[in-house]
Every structure is written in C-alpha cells, then in structure tokens.
Structure 1
Amino acid sequence: MDSDNNENKRGNWTALGRELMERTVRPCFHPSFVMFFVVAICGVGPLGFWIELASYVTSQNPGVAPIRASFISFVPAFLAGTTMQLIWAESKSRSLRAFSIFMLCACGVALVFCGYPAIQNGSAITAGVFAAVIALWMWWIANANQQDFLDDPSDISRNPIGGDRVDTPLSGDLSGFRTE
C-alpha cells in the first residue's frame, strides 16, 4: 500500500502535523523572517499592549483592565487577518484551512474569557497570553512560505516544476521523432 493511500486512511492527521511542524521550524533558518517577526509582528504590531504593560509595571496603583483590553483589541483583529490569509492562500491543504478556523474559534473563546469581568485577573491574563501566542504562531505558519520574508526564496519550491508527483509517467511519446 502506498503512503498516500495510507495517509488518506488516517484522515490526513499525519500530513497536517507534518505541515505544521515544517512551517514552524523552516522559517527559523531565515534571519530576515525571524527579524521581521520580532520587530514588526511582536514589537510594533502590539504596541498598545507594550505601552499598557509598561504603564502597569511603572504605576504606583496598577490595574490590569487596560492590559485585558489590549489583548481583546489586538488579538482578534490580528488573528482574523492571519486566518483569512491562510484560508485564501492555502489551495492544497483543506485540513490546514480547517485548522486555522479551529484556532480562530479557540482564541475567540479565550478572549471572551479574558474580557469577562467576573473572571479573576490572573486567569484572564493567562487566557489573553494564550490567545496572543496562538495568534503569533498562526501568523508564523501562515507566512512560512512567503517568499518576501525568506532569505533565499528559491528554496521554497519543494516540488519539481510540473506538480507534486514525480513517480507518474510523463505524457506523450517520442514516436515521430527523427534523429539524423
């Protein structure tokens, strides 16, 4: 039994895991990708969060409500954009698109928990951090194949020109070809 048929019988869980692992690890070897992520995505993107965190740390009478609000305002917008990017850009893996929707829903639940006033501050901040980390990771995997962020864009072509399968016979034949 070939591996593609075997993978289909398992429902593509293995393929999804392999794709997520590859998209998580491969960008680590591209300094341009990592620096863009650290500066633009983790630094400038959530600037409101960093300002509220600095205010909390330096304040005589700190309150965590602004930090909770910064999670609730930044993470959903960022995650929704990243999820839509992954859904629209991913043409081969239906399971990866479904995974992104699942993560959007999971983070949505965490953020509702984060914003609900009756929830203890520590639990709410934990839920916000969870949602933020997932959102950042989703951006990472959504852009792992984005040539603009990679140092050597030529290495993203894992498949030969002509498709994913290299074990199928070529179309056409050499009949009528003359050698002189």
Structure 2
Amino acid sequence: MDEAEKKLLLLRWPALKRELTVRTKKPLFYPGFVIFFLVAILGLAPAGFWIEVFLYFMSCSEDATAIRNAFVSFVPAFVAATCMQLIWAEEKKSIRAFAVLLLAICMLGLVFCRSTYISDLAAIVWGTLSTLTAWWMWWIANANQKEFQEEEPDSSINPLGGPGLDRPLSGDLTGFTV
C-alpha cells in the first residue's frame, strides 16, 4: 500500500466524524423534528420506562430491580430498531458499521445491567448511558428524513402563484400622465 492509499484510507475517520456531527446538529433547525423527538421518542415511547424511574425515585427503595428491568426491556428494543434502521437504509458503510458497534456495546452493557454482579449504581449509570446512546442513534438515523424537515421557501416563486416577482413587469407607462 503506497502513501496515497494510506492517506485516502485515513480520511475516512474524519468523514465519519463530520457526518455524525452534521446529523447531530442539522435537526436542531427543524422545529417539527425536535418536537416529535421530545414528545414521541423521549416522552411517549418509553412511558413504561418513565413510570419505573418515577416509582424508583419516589419510593426511595434500596431495591433497583424494577429500574434495572426497565432499562433491560426498553433500551435493547429501541436501540436494536434504530440501529437496524441505519443498517438497512444507510448507504454509507461507515455509518452502518458505527451502528453495529453501538448496538453491540449497548447490548453487552445491558447484559451486565441485569447481572447481580454489579452494583445498582453501576447498573443505573450504564442503563442511563445506553438510553442516551439509543436516543442519539434515533436522532442520527432520522436526521435526513424528509418527513421531519420543512421545505425551504423559494423566494423566486410568487406567493399567489405564477412566475416570480423578480422579473420585469409587462407593459409600460407610455402615454400615461397624472
């Protein structure tokens, strides 16, 4: 492998970073995307999860079995569906590989989350990180979805229809006096 090929291969890592950065920031400019994410993805989809979190913190219980179960039941389904969406629909192999990596990390961690070999605090921390990763993966997977984006207004189109307003007007004022 010559130097030019090595440089070309090394450019793929910054390209992946750039793509993830763009997909993280771009949806912030679409109110519909952000509102859908807040209501449906953070609020309604994990409703059972939020109930268990609420009950855990309100009961001040020492037993974290219910919240561990909430993490183990919600996160794998959500992260798997999101990563599969990326794997099947994405054209860029680096994004697909990244999705597989995060899927494997979340799933492996959640096995430990359910395990009795780690403390409740460690399980809750890992479950929280996995949940945040799952939500971010959904954000990344859907950042380019046209359903969540608003069309940019075209300033060359007349709001009443017809040609744009930036064209010369027809006719002239010859012979018109005031």
Q: TM-score range by the shorter chain?
A: 0.7 to 0.9
How do residues 1-150 of structure 1 correspond to structure 2 at under 5 angstroms?
A: 8-10=8-10, 12-59=12-59, 61=61, 63-91=63-91, 93-150=92-149
Give, in whole Å, the separation in 2 of the partners of 1:11 and 1:97: 17
Q: Aligned-pair RMSD on alpha carbons?
A: 2.0
SS at match of 2:118: coil
Runs of at least 4 residues of structure 1 off by over 4 A? none
Check 1:60–1:87 CA distance in 2 against 1; reply closer, same or farther (3 A cut): closer
Give, in whole Å, the separation in 1 of the partners of 2:58 and 2:27: 35
Query: Gaps (5+ residues) in structure 1?
Result: 155-180
Give, in whole Å, the separation in 2 of the partners of 1:152 and 1:84: 27
SS at match of 1:148: helix
Check 1:106–1:61 CA distance in 2 against 1; reply closer, same or farther (3 A cut): closer
Give, in whole Å, the separation in 2 of the partners of 1:130 and 1:59: 23
Q: CA deviation at 1:9?
A: 2.9
Give, in whole Å, the separation in 1 of the partners of 2:152 and 2:64: 43
Letter in 1 for 2:32: S
Q: CA deviation at 1:27?
A: 0.3
SS at match of 1:63: coil
Moved more, 62-71 or 126-135: 62-71
Give, in whole Å, the separation in 2 of the partners of 1:72 and 1:126: 13
| 1:58-117 Cα deviation digits (max 9, x unpaired) | 2264531111101000111111110111111112x1011000000000111211111101
Q: TM-score, normalised by structure 2?
A: 0.78
Q: CA deviation at 1:151?
A: 2.4
Give, in whole Å, the separation in 2 of the partners of 1:70 and 1:7: 46
Calculate percent identity across the aligned residue pairs. Answer: 48
How many residue pairs get aligned? The number is 150
Give, in whole Å, the separation in 2 of the partners of 1:153 and 1:96: 27
**Kept in 2: contact 1:147–1:153 (CA 8 A):** no
Q: In the alignment, what sits opposite 1:165?
A: none
Q: In the alignment, what sits opposite 1:177?
A: none
Check 1:104–1:44 CA distance in 2 against 1; reply closer, same or farther (3 A cut): same
Q: CA deviation at 1:12?
A: 0.5
Check 1:64–1:21 CA distance in 2 against 1; reply closer, same or farther (3 A cut): same
Give, in whole Å, the separation in 1 of the partners of 2:139 and 2:64: 28
**Kept in 2: contact 1:30–1:150 (CA 8 A):** yes
Query: Gaps (5+ residues) in structure 2?
Result: 154-178
Rg comparison, structure with higher value: 2
Check 1:153–1:108 CA distance in 2 against 1; reply closer, same or farther (3 A cut): farther
**Kept in 2: contact 1:24–1:140 (CA 8 A):** yes
